[in-house]
Structure 1
Amino acid sequence: MYPPNPQPYRGTGSKLVLALDVGTTFSAISYTVLENGRVPEVRGVTRFPHQELVNGSFKIPSIIYYDSNGKVAAIGAECLSENIIEQARSKGWFKCIWFKLHIKSPQASHSLPPLPPNKRPVYVFADYLGFLVKKAENFIRESYPEGVALIRHYTREYVVSHPNGWAGVEQQMLREACVQASLVGNMHSNRLHFVTEGESSLHFCLATIPRLADAAAGDSILVVDAGGGTVDFSGYIQNPGSTGFAEAWIPECRYAGSVFVTRKAEEHFTAKLRDSEFAEEVPAITKVFDQTTKIGFATPTQPQYIRFSNRSRDTDEVHDIKSGQLKLSGSVVAEFFQDSLSTITDTIIRYIVEVARHGRRLSVILLVGGYSQSPYMTSKIKALFNKNTDVLQPNQNANKAVADGSLIFFLEHMVVSRISRFALGTECVRDFVAKDSEHQRHSSLVQISPTGKKEITGMFDTIIDKGVQVKESTEFRRPYWLERTNIAELATIEAEIMAYDGPWPTPSFLADAPDKFRRLCTVVADTTVVRDSSGTGIVLILKNCQIKGFRYLDGHDIFFIACLDSNGDFCLFTLGDFEGDTELSRG
């Protein structure tokens, strides 16, 4: 596969770029080779051990067995073999599934399978990332011309995709996992890149659906990336005459993937067979449902049959079991999909209403991801929305949309403008205004400044508001001043960058919504080397930061310089007038 606008790579060194798509139930790997003067091609890792256990699929099961010592005993497709399953049963191994969702746990109504004892999500993720990279290296070594030299000598870069809504905190955990897995050497490596699954899917669709950009010109498109655990919703617009896309709303992530359909089915089987002799067969019945019935289900008018044994004596007509086969009405199976479908359709309707408020229409819905292969799910989406909107699916393997799309994102960056996910700013102190009712209400926060003024503490100053359309090169600056009784107290200055993720408007005081504010990072500057008001020369020290920058000018004014990166996350940059690099490493 080639990007939509293939161009020869122009660079001084050759590179191998791996895209790692870790899914809730299945994962995928893609790669591209960058060599000067050659057009890069997106390729998939299409062979791995025990592939026959997933019917030859290119996707690798996201499963790990840990032994009693917390060591990996089996991982990937081998976990599906009867030999491994029997060993796990006899040796008491811990089966770890859905571990991705522990990075950012869903709402309490979705209880997750537990992680192994004393295992943080980061360490499980690291084990799996290390496994994926080894399998990719083996595949490339065996399949690519001069693959051994490529693995040994080409500079390595990684693109790790993640659900919409994962931001600084979650990316920090992913960075830690990548360091733990020895993908990169430190938390600030510039060889590690992140992209949302929604944006990856957009790039994939642009490369695989003919004339998609023309169909969307002037209107809005919505990418619905329906996976095993999450469903990502990403809306974009393309202004006439522009080749790039802009986000049309804040991307969303819903825990409404296909695993929750299976969970509803399991709950039904458990209740239905509780008082029967087949109660212990629920895991086997659920497994068959997940692997066959759910995938092929198309209409509620036809009954479904789940074969869990070949024994004719396995019969219980009271519970609709005959010769090892459980019969379900189509309407019952449709109910398993209902919660998931309601979440998906409700979100699409909200998006249609939102873009209509801005004088646009939704022209295209793009369905990608493994769950989008469900005939029933796609038929319901098309029945509801196909009258006024084109509902399209890629003509290539949508299961690998995120992995392949991540590399196209790396090569082309088709999204040029994004919307800030939340209000960003910092805690500040203001002069106390006696006539201000809000100041009066928070009078307990009043203090006397070193210069004798009444001031009020605990206020939040917004640098970027939520919902602002921002290009990657956009800068936001806010001046602040400090007063101290001793100049030595200004030798080091710290400032916390905070995010507010609550209802509009943003409160003026942190105490009014303490659970809605969270710290993104702390910026620390050693200001002992500030020379004069020209602002030349400052040493920057960073701690606990993800994306950081700090500039000190004119004695007291501190200018935070910010933008949104390719994930829509807050970036602080430093610009000129001091010694050292002009841009700090990202986290």
Structure 2
Amino acid sequence: MKPASGTRKPYNGTSRSLVLALDVGTTFSGVSYAIMEPGEVPKIHGVTRFPGQEHVAGNSKIPSIMYYDHHGNMKAAGAEADGAAVLAQAEDEGWIKTELFKLRLRPKTMTLKMNGMRLSPLPHGKAAVNVFGDFLSYLFRCTHSFIVDTHANGHSLWRAVEPDIQFVLSHPNGWEGAQQTKMRRAAVIGGLIPDTDEGKARIRFVTEGEASLHACVLNGLAADVLSNPSGHGFLVADAGGGTLDISSYAIRGTTPLVIEEIAPPDCVFAGSVFVSRRARSFFADKLKNSKYGTPDSLDHITKRFDETTKRLFRDSKELQFVPFGSPLDKDLAVGIRGGQLRLTGVEVAALFEPSIEAAIASIRSQIQASSGQVKSVWLVGGFAASPWLFSQLQERLGPLGVSVSRPDSQTSKAVADGAIGFYCDHHVSARVSKFMYGVEFLRTFDAADEEHVARKHRLFELPSGPKLLPDAFDCILARGVKVKESNVFSRKYCTEVTNLSTLSVFEVEIWCYRGGDTVPKWIIRNADNFSTLCYVRADLSPLASSAQPKQGSGGRMYWTIIFSIEIHFGLTEFRARIKWTDNGTVK
């Protein structure tokens, strides 16, 4: 079986184009790109040189950190922000360090357990979306420099493609329409696109789970499953700094390659940064009576734990050491000798345990949701490099008849490469709806129904006479439904208006219900499992000329307006629209 690049079709556009995939991770970020030449098969390149990393050959990731001054101006970012000169200047001038800013964009429904730790403060006068925009802007400038410097005729190449660069932004599986809107806003703030409909159309979104799937296919990891597509499913677990993104798929065809999602994707806050947060809290408790218990010392010891012990830990029966100081650093009472903090293997394993338990629980529920189709797990992402995470998943999933493997190639840049693969190859032809989507409608009052009687104070009468209750939920798309990209879910509605001028600002609220598979009868506003997904607005004033007036109860004039709500769900971005007929023409 050929890897995906061998089956990729030549670019069928008429002019040269550039696609950039910007993967802003919780802890590390990277960029991949493809130059689309008409008639040629696109090749994926990575930005492998960033400012501050010139001494490291082929490093394709930079830390997702920035420094700001008191006025909210960005002073340093990425690898440069980790350099000794910048750290010294930051301390002298009181700059604010901004990290983990991606977690601030999360949906309200996804709660963070920070173990008493706070997200670092935002710089003066900046919201999370502005900070995200600043970082996108920095990645974009780095990419521009890299392409201009490394490609023959780099300057003329950039000038030719600059007005119409296409962007693919990746985000956790749990992000929704509201987060995509914020990311698109950040791209405008960062100067990647103009604030126009044409500009915004140049941004595409892909979930980190789906981007990782494409990366696995690109790396040939899928070859064994592809050569024998017996219909059994596989799961891609993208273990990153902040989130663990879990997606389940099955292969439905090999020439061309067709892959379908077989369970609603999952997203849990169980990434490597939470192991570090638990470690800092543990060190603070362990060293509270030692001179090494100061905030600065704890930050330094945690950083060294991150760089050494956390990455190398593989055996809970062996003693572990965090090398943080000089041979003169010593405090035997807390296990510090020769500049090293001694820990038991059991203590270190406990720091990983909540993340491992969350991963196992999520994978088990995916196996259940896919009716047991999942037989193999592919572990990718920066946290996948942890020998302990890998061995624990193997050990605990083995009894379920599920094998765990991880690609040999550099898994940390899987998302950026996979996002370009998604743009070029588009292997996933069907996805599974994660939640239930619908709209509010008016339910006819039934005096024999206790629920109706309890809501009687909300009752109102339509101009045509019937008494109705508001807040009834009408499901347009149920949870767990397999949706092909071409599928459109549509429902017809009618409304009565007593004033035609209201048609110019006609608006429908699309609701999302997260409470399971049973369709709720009523929308409970402000409840955790109900949220507004989006508003669909349309100017229906042209219908005023063809609408026929009728006389209602009490002699009031009213007009009946008939329209449909359409939901397009099959792409990675949710779309909804209102459809109506005006003088025989569908609008």
TM beyond 0.5: yes
Amino acid at match of 1:474: N
Counterpart of 1:564 in structure 2 is 569
Instruction: Name the SS for the 1:478 alignment partner.
Output: strand
Q: 1:560 to 1:311 in 2, by over 3 A?
A: same
TM-score scaled by length of structure 2 = 0.90
5 Å-filtered alignment, 1:466-505, equals 466-505=479-518
CA pair 53-230 structure 1, distance change in 2 beyond 3 A: farther
Question: Are residues 27 and 489 of structure 1, via their aligned partners in 2, closer, same or farther at CA, if it must alter by over 3 Å?
Answer: closer
Consecutive unaligned residues of structure 2, counting only runs of 5 or more, are 548-558
State percent identity of aligned pairs.
37
Partner of 1:107: 111
* Paired residues for 1:255-404 under 5 Å: 255-280=269-294, 281-312=297-328, 314-355=329-370, 358=371, 360-386=372-398, 388-404=401-417
Task: For residues 364-412 of structure 1, give each alpha carbon's deviation from its aligned partner in whole angstroms, at most 9, with x where no partner exists.
Answer: 1010000000111111111222462332212321011000000000011
Q: Give 1:38-187 correspondences, 5 Å limit.
A: 38-51=40-53, 57-104=59-106, 106-110=110-114, 111-154=118-161, 155-186=164-195
Would you say how many aligned residue pairs link Structure 1 and Structure 2? 559
Aligned counterparts of 1:241 and 1:74: Cα–Cα separation in 2: 47
The 1:215/1:345 distance shift into structure 2, 3 A limit, reads farther
SS in structure 2 at match of 1:394: coil
Say whether residues 1:202 and 2:213 are aligned partners. Answer: yes
Residues 103 and 72 of structure 1: CA distance in aligned 2, closer, same or farther (over 3 Å): same
The one-letter code sitting in structure 2 at the alignment partner of 1:362 is: V
Distance 1:124 1:20 in 2: 15
Q: Secondary structure at the match of 1:479?
A: strand
Relative to 1, partners in 2 of residues 1:512 and 1:279: Cα closer, same or farther, differing over 3 Å? closer
| Counterpart amino acid of residue 379 in structure 1 | S
Which amino acid in the other structure matches residue 179 of structure 2?
E
CA-to-aligned-CA distance 1:192-214 (integer Å, 9 cap, x gap): 00000000000110121133323
Does 445-454 or 370-379 show the bigger shift? 445-454
The verdict on how the C-alpha distance between 1:213 and 1:478 changes in structure 2, with shifts beyond 3 A counting, is: same
Tell me the distance in 2 between the aligned counterparts of 1:491 and 1:345: 51
Query: For 2:73 and 2:125, how far apart are their aligned partners in 1?
Result: 12
Alignment root-mean-square deviation, CA: 2.5
CA drift of 1:339 comes to: 0.9
Secondary structure in 2 matching 1:529? helix
Q: Which amino acid aligns with 1:132?
A: L
Mean alpha-carbon deviation: is it higher for 316-325 or for 51-60? Answer: 51-60
* Conserved? CA contact 1:470–1:563, under 8 Å: no
Which range moves more in the overlay, 282-291 or 21-30?
282-291
2: CA distance, partners of 1:276 / 1:29 = 43
Distance 1:490 1:128 in 2: 42
Contact 2:563 2:580 in 1 (8 A): no
- From the superposition, tell whether residues 52 and 322 of structure 1 become closer, same or farther in structure 2 (CA, over 3 Å): farther
Distance 1:371 1:69 in 2: 35
Kindly provide the CA deviation profile for residues 461-499 of structure 1, in whole angstroms up to 9, marking residues without a partner as x: 211122221111111121111113344444542212222
Q: Which whole-Å CA distance do the structure 2 matches of 1:366 and 1:555 have between them? A: 55
From the superposition, tell whether residues 135 and 389 of structure 1 become closer, same or farther in structure 2 (CA, over 3 Å).
same
Residues 46, 417 of structure 2: 8 Å contact kept: yes
Structure 1 contact 221–237 (Cα < 8 Å) conserved? yes
* Stretches of structure 1 lacking an aligned partner (at least 5 in a row): 535-553
Residue 309 of structure 1 and its aligned partner are, at CA, apart by: 1.6
Amino acid at match of 1:352: I
Q: Secondary structure at the match of 2:488?
A: coil
Q: Kindly tell me: are residues 311 and 519 of structure 1, through their superposed partners in 2, closer, same or farther at Cα, counting changes over 3 Å?
A: same
Question: Using a 3 Å threshold, how does the CA distance of structure 1 residues 302 and 216 change in structure 2: closer, same or farther?
Answer: farther
On the 8 A contact 1:16/1:150 being kept in 2, the answer is no
Letter matched to residue 349 of structure 1: R
Three-state SS of the structure 2 residue aligned to 1:400 is helix
1:447 aligns with 2:460: yes
Q: Is the 8 A contact 2:169 2:205 kept in 1?
A: yes
TM-score, normalised via structure 1 length: 0.90
The letter of the residue matching 1:157 is: Q
Preserved CA contact (<8 Å) 2:97 2:120 = no
Cα distance change, pair 56–149 in 1 and its aligned pair in 2 (3 A): closer
Contact 1:217 1:239 in 2 (8 A): no
8 A Cα contact 2:279 2:302, kept in partner: yes
